[in-house]
Amino acid sequence: MSDGWTRPAPAFPAFPPRPGLAVEEIVGRSIVTVVARAGQEAALRAVVETALGVLLPEGPRRVAGQEIAFIGIGPGKWLAIGLPVAALAPLADVAAIVDQSGAYGVLSLTGAGARRLLGRAVAIDLDDAAFGAGSVATTIIEHVGVTLVRTAATPPAYELYVVRSYARSLAHWLHETMG
């Protein structure tokens, strides 16, 4: 590849479309963990704002800039989505930057059926009032750890990040539950 990194292969089998529900794998997305070094969270916040034009979310939220989105996964920890790890080099003095593009499988779930399906998957409140666009939850689906992101309000759109080696287990659950 011309930009110097190898895109991972698909992690999931195909999901046939259902009425009101499209489940598709997002392939080739750059995913980088950004973890603030001890006592450097404020400094990291400032560098991210200056270098990337994004205000890091304080809690489990997704904030998107022009080229990059940040997903809060824990105190001082984010997934940076969209730019290759080399583009995050300005953050390296104040944060640990690790490419995870090959470590995750990513699904997009869209349509009115997406929330109904996810409602059977996670033990969190998915109502619009509690889990509107930009909301993030790191939790479990059938014993498999996932990070769930609400990317759009209408039509309801979500992304599901799962550690790649569990992708087929999650796919099995989805196939069974989608019917």
Give the residues lining the site for another protein (CB under 8 A): 59-60, 73-75, 77, 123-124, 137-140, 145
Q: Which is nearer to another protein, 73 or 97 (CB)?
A: 73
Q: Which is nearer to another protein, 53 or 132 (CB)?
A: 132
Both tokens assigned to 118: 């996810």
Q: Which is nearer to another protein, 110 or 147 (CB)?
A: 147
Both tokens assigned to 77: 């920890």
Report the distance separating Cα 149 and Cα 71, nearest Å: 8
Q: Residues in the chain, how many? A: 179
Q: Which is nearer to another protein, 100 or 138 (CB)?
A: 138
Q: Which is nearer to another protein, 37 or 77 (CB)?
A: 77
Kindly state the smallest distance separating residue 77's Cβ from another protein, in Å.
8
Kindly state the smallest distance separating residue 137's Cβ from another protein, in Å.
7
Is the distance from CB of 73 to CB of 63 less than 8 angstroms?
no
Cβ-proximal residues to 125 (8 Å cutoff; 6+ apart), any chain: 131
Is the distance from CB of 56 to CB of 36 less than 8 angstroms?
no
Report the distance separating Cα 137 and Cα 148, nearest Å: 5
Kindly state the smallest distance separating residue 100's Cβ from another protein, in Å.
15
Kindly state the smallest distance separating residue 36's Cβ from another protein, in Å.
12
Q: Which is nearer to another protein, 93 or 125 (CB)?
A: 125
The three-state DSSP-derived secondary structure of 73-112 is: EECCEEEEECCCHHHHHHHCCCEEEEECCCCEEEEEEECH
Find the distance separating the first CA and the last CA of the chain, reported in whole Å: 39
Kindly state the smallest distance separating residue 57's Cβ from another protein, in Å.
11
Kindly state the smallest distance separating residue 140's Cβ from another protein, in Å.
5
Question: Which element (helix H / strand E) includes 47?
Answer: helix 41-52
